Structure 1
Amino acid sequence: MYTVFFILVLAALIDSCCLVVNASQDHQCSTFMYENPSCPESWHYWGNSCYRITETTFTWSEANDECRQLGGVLALPSSDQENNFIANTFQHVEHCWIDCNDLDVEGSWKCREGNVDITYRNWYSGEPNNSGDEDCAVLSRIGGNKREWHDVKCSRAERALCKIAGRPLLHV
């Protein structure tokens, strides 16, 4: 009886931990070498959320709509650790939309995830620069694997970085 209980507890712990871990300062797993069962297929788990970059490209507004259609929101990194997870997980993607824009007031950037304002910023040096009516932000891969933000025209066609909450798992 105790053996079965121990196995169930151990399985629950393994389910909630990384098999190969690069621990971040906030003790969240930043690299997963397997797909977490709390995420749908083709989504990647980190920090109790699931992430996906679309294969199709969209304008910024369409990207927002696409993420909602997938049951989530257009994502926005809220820490260096989350930004690094995205950079490491989606190395093959050059640019992707994030939920940050100054569409309402030029130079006043609203960066949010869903309805939550995010104070974290990771602008590339000299950005945002509004060079040619640039009102929406992308995560860009600049030289290697580093991801920083750039302001670009909202009408550009880019992939969307979507985020959904991980499904809760029953742990005994």
Structure 2
Amino acid sequence: MLGYSAIILFSLALPGLQAAARPPAQFELIGSRYFYIEKNTTLDWFEAARTCRRMGGELATIQSQQELHQIVPKLEWDSKYWLSLNDLLHEGTFVSISSAQPEPFFNWRKGQPDNYNFNEHCVRAINYYMYDSPCDSKARFICEA
């Protein structure tokens, strides 16, 4: 699984990491950055990442508490949304899919991350909190451009 995940991560982070000067049409300005919030379709984490790339963005990384508070009102309450963060390459070290670097902001729910059943490597947001979850489970997703 780890080797396959590394190949997928590498292929998802290939050319085009730089955001375009103009955000794609479906993206909206929330705070100081552009996001697309999928409110209907649920996908696994890998397909959500590919979908964001096809749209001209990437899975979102929330950069601060302020940004989280600007995004949450746009989300369906109690729904699950994939974010960019994952620990597929090194258990317990959550990195962004685009930078492969640890991110400065996490808002983990109490007891998270817990890697339940040793199978939770991708991060979902539910309301104001982040949870580690199985990457092959389905959720809505948030893209950034």
Q: TM-score, normalising length from structure 2?
A: 0.75
- Could you tell me how far apart the structure 2 residues matched to 1:100 and 1:50 are? 18
Structure 1 range deviating more: 88-97 or 153-162: 88-97
Residue 134 of structure 1 aligns with which residue? 120
Q: Is 1:155 the counterpart of 2:136 in the alignment?
A: yes
Alignment size in residue pairs: 121
Structure number with higher relative contact order (C-alpha < 8 Å, ≥ 6 residues apart): 2
Is the CA contact (8 Å cut-off) linking 1:95 and 1:139 kept in structure 2? yes
Residue 60 of structure 1 aligns with which residue? 45
Question: Match of 1:122, as an amino acid?
Answer: N
Q: Give 1:106 deviation, angstroms.
A: 1.5
Residue 15 of structure 2 aligns with which residue? none
Change (3 A) 1:128 1:60: same
Q: CA RMSD in A?
A: 2.0
Q: Please tell me whether Structure 1 or Structure 2 has the larger radius of gyration of its CA atoms.
A: 1
Question: Match of 2:86, as an amino acid?
Answer: N
Residue 51 of structure 1 aligns with which residue? 35
Structure 1 unmatched runs, 5+: 1-37, 142-146, 165-172
Aligned 1:1-172 pairs, distance under 5 A: 42-54=26-38, 55-92=40-77, 94-110=79-95, 112=96, 114-115=98-99, 117=101, 118-132=103-117, 133-141=119-127, 147-164=128-145
Secondary structure (helix, strand or coil) at the match of 1:103 reads coil
- Could you tell me how far apart the structure 2 residues matched to 1:71 and 1:122 are? 26
Change (3 A) 1:51 1:90: same
Secondary structure (helix, strand or coil) at the match of 1:149 reads strand
Residue 10 of structure 2 aligns with which residue? none
Question: Match of 2:54, as an amino acid?
Answer: Q
Give the 4+ runs in structure 1 shifted more than 4 A. Answer: 38-42
Question: Match of 2:104, as an amino acid?
Answer: T
Question: Match of 1:149, as an amino acid?
Answer: M
Question: Match of 1:150, as an amino acid?
Answer: Y
Secondary structure (helix, strand or coil) at the match of 1:57 reads strand
Q: Give 1:39 deviation, angstroms.
A: 5.7
